[in-house]
């Protein structure tokens, strides 16, 4: 059984609305294998043709806005500014608004296969495959766009070793993209007001980006700029749970995904979900789900 976010290492991206695939680029970042499909919209001179019908893809889609655009993503209206990136998860319906006739954007799609042998890629993997519907990434310094321009030039000019050069640039792109996602979260924390809704978002952002690390409620309190006692009362008021319970639920959700929906070796899973030892992880998993990781995986076969 495979999760929609990963392939078996051989599959292509899938349906992309009959767009021409100009290049199929395969890269690997510390055991995280990424297949990139370059379609016509990657090249800036192509206008948004055919994007006005609600559609989805089998892979992740990255769009860079060359001008202000309005989109409907998963039935949510989204206003995008020139310079914004939007990452859309697999099988999430989306379309450009019909009045965006002059909209231009750069687009590519990707799928991910994690070989499960490199726990150090957990942070990168969680960002590239952890998006449930979509997220907007601000390219404040223009670094990501610069990388995309270099890739575009390599593919258009096709100089000596252009394909290898494009692969290297894509590796840089995904690393910088993940960094920018985390930076955007930290900056959002500085600008949001302390309403209940924004506080919930800040708490969930923190747990989403730190569940695989050795983090504590003191770290979260510092992130929110409140005391530990204030945090305790806040979590009880908003969730009726403690920080430890919330962190455990997130870790176990990802653990179940790695155990049941990937081929990651079971003794590697703990290091992707915040555990320092296999034995501690196995005890926690069995207590939470009532079955061992091996039993859970065996049930899916």
Encode pLDDT of 58-73 as tens digits: 888 999 988 888 888 8
Does domain 21-190 bear CATH number 2.60.120? yes
In this chain, the answer to whether the domains covering 21-190 and 193-301 adopt an identical fold is: no
| 256 within 8 A of 296, measured Cβ to Cβ | yes
pLDDT 10s digits, 143-166: 999 999 999 999 989 999 999 999
Kindly give the residue spans of alpha helices, DSSP state H, lying in the chain. Answer: 122-129, 143-157, 162-191, 196-210, 217-224, 228-238, 243-261, 278-289, 293-300
Residue 6 and residue 58: Cα distance in Å, rounded?
10
For 193-301, which CATH class?
mainly alpha
pLDDT at 272 over 90: no
Indicate the angle between helix axes 243-261 and 293-300, nearest 10 degrees: 40
pLDDT 10s digits, 216-255: 999 999 888 888 998 998 888 888 899 999 999 989 988 8
For the chain, domain boundaries: 21-190, 193-301
What tokens were used for 160?
Answer: 């000596």
198: number of Cβ within 10 Å: 14
For the chain, what percent of residues have pLDDT higher than 90?
A: 27
Residues contacting residue 274 through CB under 8 Å, at least 6 positions apart: 211, 212, 213, 214, 215, 247, 251
């Amino acid at each position: 059984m495979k999760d929609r976010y990963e392939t078996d290492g051989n599959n292509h991206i899938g349906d992309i609305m009959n767009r021409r695939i100009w290049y199929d680029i395969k890269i690997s970042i510390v055991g995280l294998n990424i297949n990139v499909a370059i379609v016509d919209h990657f090249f800036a001179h192509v206008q948004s043709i055919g994007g006005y019908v609600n559609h989805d893809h089998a892979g992740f889609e990255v769009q860079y806005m060359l001008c202000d655009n309005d989109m409907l993503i998963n039935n949510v209206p989204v206003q995008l500014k020139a310079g914004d990136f939007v990452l859309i998860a697999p099988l999430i319906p989306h379309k450009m608004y019909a009045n965006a006739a002059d909209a231009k954007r750069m687009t590519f799609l990707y799928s991910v296969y994690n070989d499960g042998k490199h726990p150090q890629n957990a942070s990168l993997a969680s960002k590239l495959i952890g998006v449930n519907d979509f997220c907007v990434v601000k390219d404040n310094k223009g670094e990501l766009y610069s990388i995309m321009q270099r890739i575009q030039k390599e593919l258009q000019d096709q100089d000596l070793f252009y394909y290898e050069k494009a692969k290297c640039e894509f590796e840089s792109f995904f690393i910088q993209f993940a960094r920018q996602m985390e930076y955007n979260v930290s900056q959002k924390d500085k600008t949001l007001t302390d309403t209940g809704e924004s506080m919930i978002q800040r708490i969930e952002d923190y747990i989403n980006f730190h569940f695989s690390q050795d983090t504590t409620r003191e770290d979260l309190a510092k992130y929110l700029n409140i005391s530990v006692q204030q945090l305790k009362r806040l979590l009880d008021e908003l969730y009726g749970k403690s920080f430890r319970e919330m962190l455990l639920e997130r870790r176990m959700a990802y653990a179940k995904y790695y155990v049941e929906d990937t081929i990651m070796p079971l003794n590697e899973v703990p290091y992707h979900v915040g555990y320092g030892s296999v034995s501690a992880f196995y005890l926690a998993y069995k207590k939470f789900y009532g079955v061992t990781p091996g039993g859970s995986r065996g049930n899916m076969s």
